[in-house]
Structure 1
Amino acid sequence: MNKSAIRAFGIALFLVGALLALAARFDLNIGLPTKASTNTEHVEELQKKLEQANKEIALLKEQAKQAPKENNQKTDAPATKAKDNHKPADTPTNAKTMTLQIYSGMEPYTVAQKLEDGGIIENSVEMELFLANPKYARSLQIGSYEVNSSMSLEEIAKLITGKKQ
């Protein structure tokens, strides 16, 4: 009688383990806490980031409206110190200038698209491929950068990745 009780207990444990394995395999909710309970925290965090991004977009739109008025004043001042000696000596006075905002998790595609939309570069695909170069890949630095259309792709890449050479 003692052997049969132990055997029955062992079979019961085996069946419970098998049921739990099947429940996990087919994502069945059997009343055990899962990772889904933490998704609300991630959703709230993402909503806050979205609100912050929307505020920054509104700010950038306001800056874009004011940009034609201030374009002649901002052309060379902040961007000159970030450039290196590859820059031609004569910078056109009609160069377009913009502030490029880089956020956490931003992809090279998005950065290149912003530069093209701002009139800084003509081909976003070319810039995206340039940033995919192993020298610059995964090196985008979070921050605000003053860029202008007289800068080369390499100068822009060095600026936004923090590379010195």
Structure 2
Amino acid sequence: MNKSSIRAFGIALFLVGAMLALATRFDLNIGLPTKASSSEDNVEELQKKLEQANKEIALLKKQVTQSQKESPKKTEAKTKDNHESADAPADVTTMTLQIYSGITPYIVAQKLEDGGIIDNSVEMEILLANPKYARSLQIGSYEINSSMPLEEIAKLITGKKK
């Protein structure tokens, strides 16, 4: 090999390296195998988190019932309070939800939880990640209240028919 062919080979290697660096930098798919995170992986991860949270809730409920059995006097006072509050109408929280371009299901779910509309943002996030609603959030302003089921809220903000 002569000097000019070695130099040409070196320049070619440099250019290929630069092209790969640019492709990586600008996230271009140039036919190289990559591991892309699929929405199914995300949904499975969120479902596992939801199951764990539900287990924790069940454990806490069990602990509460055990502590109530140990102190029946306190329980009697609590049940009197519960009967009084059961006669009163349930408080319904209402909010206006703004959906803008580029908003994610996570942000929507967080807004609903922060507004007191839903108790668990993870459940709503999983519902919106469902293929039925995925990538269907409609830009706009929506009046939502806490008496609406999650499915109804999802249909409203995605424009899906019942």
State the TM-score, normalizing by the size of structure 2: 0.50
- Normalized per residue, the structure richer in helix is 2
